[in-house]
Amino acid sequence: MDESLLNSTLIIITILLIIAGSFFNLQKYSPIQNDKILHFLSYFLLSLLLAPYLSYSKLFLVLFLMGGSIEMIQPLAGRKCCIYDQLANTSGIISSIVAIHLWGVFFGTH
C-alpha cells in the first residue's frame, strides 16, 4: 500500500474513532480505562499523522477547534461537555508538536 494512502486511511480512521468515542461510550472496549489518557493519546496520534501536511500553528488550531467543537456539541447527544477533556486533547496536540520538533532537532529532519 502506498505510504500516503496508508497515512490518509489512518487519519480517517483516527478521526472517526475520535468522533465515535466522543458520542458513544467506546471506553468499555479499550484496555485503557482512564478517559483523559484516551483523549491525550487520540489527539497525540492524530497530530502525528497530520503533521506532514500542516504547519505547527495550523495543526494546533485545527485540532484544538475540532476537540472544542466536539466537546461543545456533546450535550446534544446526552454527554457532558468537559473542560478537562479539552485540556487532555490540547496536551496531546502540544506534546506531539514538541516531540516532532525535538525529533527534527536531534535527527536533522526538520
| 3-class SS of residue 25 | coil
Residue in the block written with cell 479539552: 86
One-letter amino acid for residue 98 of the chain:
V
Q: Is the pTM of this model over 0.85?
A: yes
Residue 38: give the domain boundaries. Answer: 3-107
pLDDT band at 58; cut points 50, 70, 90: very high
69 has a pLDDT exceeding 60: yes
Domains held by the chain: number: 1
One-letter amino acid for residue 59 of the chain:
L
Half-sphere exposure of 7 (CA within 13 A, CB side): 10
- Structure-derived torsion over alpha carbons of residues 45, 102, 59, 40, reported in degrees to the nearest 10: 40
40 has a pLDDT exceeding 80: yes
110 has a pLDDT exceeding 60: no
Are the C-beta atoms of 47 and 97 separated by less than 8 Å?
Answer: yes
